[in-house]
Chain A
Amino acid sequence: MCVVVLAASASAGEIPRAERRSGSDFMSRETRAMQDDDTANPGMLWVLEGESLWNKKTGDAGRACAECHGDARASMKGVAARHPAFDATRGRPVTLEQRVNVCRTERQKAPPLAYESRELLALTAYLARQSRGLPIDVATDQRTQPFLDAGRATFYRRQGQLNLACSQCHDDNWGRQLAGNVVPQAHPTGYPLYRLEWQSLGSLQRRLRNCLIGIRAEPYEYGAAELVDLELFLMWRARGMTFEAPAVRP
């Protein structure tokens, strides 16, 4: 007779809803204090700039965001917490960054802003700020289901030279150390966020590309369908969690 004892850590599987924790729970007290104080949170510099861009006329149409959307404090409340959202004309989900650029090119007749440019980060940070404290609530219906499934597949697919899937760190080994850092659960609760390592604000896609480079995989381009679907899946995975943008992370 032989008894086989299986190690529990081999595949812990999806994180139960009650055990989900935002990245801010894994941070030091000092970093959390920085995030919570609007005059210490460097992300607020982008929010301030975003507010001025919101009210500035731009493009050939000579219109400001505010002329259609009014006061963002009211009209944009909860919007960032619902993205990526399905766009009927494109037939697929679009991120907040893409939504801003759709509005710019179609309504304002202005050139799209480059990913990770200061202006786009400022606008998305300003929009995201209007959802702070609200629950993450991406819509999942028949239209978004295939994209959600594609994102899930990416999350669980091993890739790169290290042959690692996102889930192997963020589902199975969260809370443990990866070199000097604690592995978080990968809930995108505060994007765009100020990363102390970056000394700048950055989008979720910048973070995802970082992780892909970390596992020695070739990162997808900004705005690539794979990244958008993954973003959608991660937001769905974090559904109901509190939106903290602009967050601060180490």
Chain B
Amino acid sequence: MPEETIIPAQPRHRLTTRIWHWINALCLITLLMSGLTIFNAHPRLYWGEYGANGDYAWMAVGSSDTMGYLRFGDLRIETTGVLGNWQDDQGRTQKWAFPGWATIPSSYSLADGRRWHFFFAWIFSVGLGLFILRSLWNRHVQQDLRIGLQEWRPSAIWNSIKSHLKLSNIRQTGEQGYNIIQKLSYVGVIFVLLPSMIFSGLAMSPAMDANWPLLTDIFGGRQSARSLHFIAAFLLVLFFFVHIAMVLVSGPVRQMTAMIFGGKRKEPPA
């Protein structure tokens, strides 16, 4: 069996990928937490152009004196202690939707939450744009994320799923090229979810509505854009947890070292 060849000139993660990865991680955490502060100002989501307290919300966080709840359509789930009715670090009961440990700042301030959100939104947007351009230019996307025709075969995808169910298989990965599930996740996050956060965010802006009316229409109205912004944010949270779990399973020290210092790139056996 031929030996794997290490290409010393190219690290596993390029410098631009590593810089962007960590800046982006900081941005996503601050954007999520300041975004939850903004959500707390009106913890109700609607479809269409308009939506306010008198209108039907498909999702809402609410509270009574004794309990908090999360409502999806007609389904009401009690969330006392976490959403809608929780104790702050002084032991006082608070009725904001998301608790202080999940928001920036930790006490409710819509104005401050917006400041954090828009500042980091700029770094996030410019960073994502530069990373995508650079990764097309240096062929990171074409070399590492391009999905070959044979990878699209249902049997190939099924094999990859089965392979993920065995932890020992996940442990072995991390030095070869990405598998189909990794590629789909990364492509989906970089080219779909992250850009949709920027555009659904802009679609909520009254000035952008005048500048680019089509943008709000694409999302089905301002309140739909707000709902999709929220849903996409939580898909990113889901990605974050799976991503962290995979790093922990596959060798956290090696993976973290590689994402900080570059790591080694191995060519699969010829």
A binds B: no
